[in-house]
DNA sequence: GATGAATGAGTCTTCATTCAT
DNA sequence: GATGAATGAAGACTCATTCAT
């Protein structure tokens, strides 16, 4: 039914707003209900419990981001892994800037969840990080990136750099530097850091 | 009094253990009391409330880390900003590996706190990050690092990379790569990323 | 309509199963709906509320039992009040054994209901007990039972003895004694207890 | 500490009142707290949960009753099992009459509990019933009661008769017959029912 | 200073009941 | 008549904090 899909989405949207405002633990189910304009009990028709809302939110929203970034990589990065990293970084920072509330939730709650809801396994998040290591591996096959770079370390370092940087805007929304500038800065550092140079 | 100092420290230590095990919100004051072998009420002789324990923990422990890393930079890095970044990275990862429980607390709770306890201002954390930007600035003055690198962006990117990487061990303590190897990987990426090269 | 009667009966049957399994208070309307294969809302077309299901169940099922036992008394007990008590006891215990689920509901819920749903007056239950006192009175008129026996006390004592005894099977369905044996034991005690003897 | 014992007892007393008034399921913890003049949370310092209050209540109160009746049997019944049954019946009915609220709770809730809190095993209740079968066995050894009477059936029948009868007063406190009269009636029936007579 | 019993506000979750379809 | 999605009141239980000892 259309109703059903509607309400599920409305609740997730409301939860993003409320969690971003108060944090997961300080948010009350009643807050989400009010924001989504449904009764408290209705939430439990779509989610098992409060944790389940957070987990669903993570998986669904990160799922959307993955689709977006993959589309963008296909259409705008060609086959150049340097360009791909640039596209990934720019998309990540833009998304974090456009969807401020979602960004806050991801930054604040994802880590806790990783630990306390281990049963759920944040599979989508892993998938997101694996896009980065995939790019690195491709670049290594193409002889563009150094062979000694560990993709599994790089993906975390690159994501960590982007994530920590974007917190700047989430916390203080008046950028001193533009998103594009920052994305360039970071991507340049990482590309220069792993590119094969003549003298080496 | 020495006793007093004793108990304050005992409570902080206990809080680190309990918060790392359960997270701040799931931890009960009673848990900390039991772990520290003091009565619940005693905790309120040393801290204003539950939040205050977390904030004090942050400031004091990060304060210690700052002292350690500054000492190390003085004694082992000479005047070379590349070496300084290497020392910083290695110290950070070692510390996160040695003090696993503290590492978990910092990684899980620092972000939430940044937002919800704004009044407290995590001044020590800022100070810690500023060590990185200080190194970059020095390197730029020495003509070793590129002028166009923004120290304020770099410090966050570098810290983010280290932080995200170290989560690997916190979550799955059986490293596949050694700490030294990883510290080298990351430092190399960042140094290569910002170093002044001949052709430029 | 036959359909209607059908559904009313289906719901009562389902309620017996569910109440016996979980008890009245722990049973959910949804459980009954699922068991009866009707929607939750449908139940409210046939009953005013949850209590009403229980009360209807009592009155209807006890009504059936009364009809059965009266038929049996007519056909098998002749005019002998001793035989009548025997028939009553045997029928009661057999019924409790055959309809285990109904037995559980009666034993567990009848007492609570007596108190909290006073408005409803368990008239059928009173009628059932009055069969016993009727037998006693007849026996007294016939000079078989002692005049000083109070039928109003006897009916409760006799019913209580049967009821409490039958709980043995409801709780632990593997009898050590047969139903007939037990019915005889109890009836003998009560008949011997009130019969007019030569020496008295 | 005396305080502790005090509060535990106060809560049990309050629970008896509240449960007798509203029944276990309709009673709210807040009701008990108010009645006992303690905060809701305090109740959870002395009991694990709502069920635990009921179970504790059962075990403790039945424990007291057992002590009383055993004392009475020792002091007033001599060695005559007929007299012992009489004493038991009289004590039971008197107690049910004197402690009306406790009586209601026992009559209304004991059966449900038997089923739903099986884990707890109502050991004290079993012990209480075993006093009856003990008397019967003694009477059989003395040649006063018939050998073919099954003590395990008798104990339930006798208790059931007393229990069901006493509900008369609990529900409608204005007796038409005195307690002594009723106790005599029932005991006579049961004694006559199982006594060895000359002709047998 | 130290204790820990007591407090009671706060919240997730359940579920009987309703009503638009 | 039948449905079942939606409602929202209700209540068991937790736990940070206090304060008399």
CB contact under 8 A, D161 and C161: yes
User: What is the model's pLDDT at position B173?
Assistant: 62
pLDDT class of B169 with cuts at 50, 70, 90:
confident
- Tell which residue, A134, A153, A150, A154, has the closest CA to residue A142: A134
Residue C114 makes CB contacts below 8 A (sequence gap 6+) with: C122, D167, D171
CB contact under 8 A, A156 and B167: yes
Per-residue pLDDT tens for D103-142? 999 988 988 887 776 556 778 998 999 999 999 999 999 9
Per-residue pLDDT tens for B32-57? 999 999 999 999 999 999 999 999 99
Task: Give the SS3 label for residue D145.
Answer: strand
User: What is the model's pLDDT at position C1?
Assistant: 45
Per-residue pLDDT tens for D50-109? 999 999 999 999 999 999 999 999 999 889 999 999 999 999 999 998 999 999 999 889
User: What is the model's pLDDT at position D200?
Assistant: 45
pLDDT exceeds 50 at position D194: yes
Quick check: D125 contacting C, CB < 8 Å?
Answer: no
Strand F reaches within 7 A of the A30 CB: no
Compute the distance between CA of residue C57 and CA of residue C60 in angstroms, rounded to an integer: 5
Upper half-sphere CA count for residue A40 (Cβ side, 13 Å): 5
Q: Which two tokens stand for residue C68?
A: 């059965």
User: What is the model's pLDDT at position B41?
Assistant: 96
Percent of chain D with pLDDT over 70: 89
Compute the distance between CA of residue C89 and CA of residue C83 in angstroms, rounded to an integer: 10
Quick check: D104 contacting C, CB < 8 Å?
Answer: yes
Indicate the helix (H) or strand (E) that contains B162.
helix B151-171
Cβ burial, residue B147 (10 Å; 0-12/13-18/19+)? exposed
pLDDT exceeds 90 at position B30: yes
- Distances from the Cα of C84 to the Cα of C91, C135, C163, angstroms: 10, 7, 17
Partners for B (CB, 8 Å, 3+ pairs)?
Answer: A
Can you state the percent helix, strand and coil of chain C, rounding each to 5? 80, 0, 20
Compute the distance between CA of residue C90 and CA of residue C84 in angstroms, rounded to an integer: 10
Strand E reaches within 7 A of the C27 CB: yes
Contact yes or no for C155/C92 (Cβ under 8 A)? no
Closest residue to F14 (CA to C1') is: D41
User: What is the model's pLDDT at position B49?
Assistant: 94
pLDDT class of C112 with cuts at 50, 70, 90:
confident
**Nucleotide F1 C1' to residue C48 CA (A):** 16
pLDDT in tens, chain A (200 residues): 444 558 999 999 999 999 999 999 999 999 999 999 999 999 999 999 999 999 999 999 999 999 999 999 999 988 999 999 999 999 999 999 899 999 999 988 988 887 766 556 778 998 999 999 999 999 999 999 999 888 988 999 999 999 988 887 766 666 667 889 889 889 988 998 899 876 54
Compute the distance between CA of residue A114 and CA of residue A122 in angstroms, rounded to an integer: 7
**Nucleotide F8 C1' to residue C11 CA (A):** 27
Contact yes or no for B111/A108 (Cβ under 8 A)? yes
Indicate the helix (H) or strand (E) that contains B158.
helix B151-171
> D175 to chain C: nearest residue by CA?
C153
Compute the distance between CA of residue A106 and CA of residue A138 in angstroms, rounded to an integer: 28
Percent of chain C with pLDDT over 90: 66
φ/ψ of residue B149, rounded to 5: -75, 130
Compute the distance between CA of residue A43 and CA of residue A28 in angstroms, rounded to an integer: 12
Task: Give the SS3 label for residue D125.
Answer: helix
């Amino acid at each position: 039914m259309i109703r059903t899909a509607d309400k599920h989405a409305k609740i997730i949207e409301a939860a993003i707003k409320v969690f971003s405002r108060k944090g997961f633990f300080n948010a009350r189910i009643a807050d989400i209900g009010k924001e989504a304009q449904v009764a408290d009990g209705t939430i439990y028709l779509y989610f098992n419990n409060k944790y389940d809302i957070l987990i669903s939110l993570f998986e669904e929203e990160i799922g959307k981001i993955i689709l977006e970034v993959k589309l963008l990589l296909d259409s705008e990065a060609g086959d150049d892994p340097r360009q791909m990293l640039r596209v990934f970084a720019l998309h990540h920072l833009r998304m974090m800037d456009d969807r401020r509330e979602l960004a806050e939730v991801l930054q604040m709650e994802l880590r806790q969840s990783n630990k306390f809801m281990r049963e759920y396994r944040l599979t989508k998040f892993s998938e997101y990080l694996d896009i980065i290591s995939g790019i690195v591996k491709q670049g290594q096959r193409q002889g563009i990136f150094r062979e000694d770079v560990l993709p599994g370390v790089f993906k975390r370092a690159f994501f960590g750099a982007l994530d920590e940087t974007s917190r700047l805007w989430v916390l203080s929304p008046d950028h001193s530097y533009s998103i594009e500038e920052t994305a360039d800065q970071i991507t340049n550092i990482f590309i220069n850091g792993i590119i094969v140079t003549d003298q080496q």
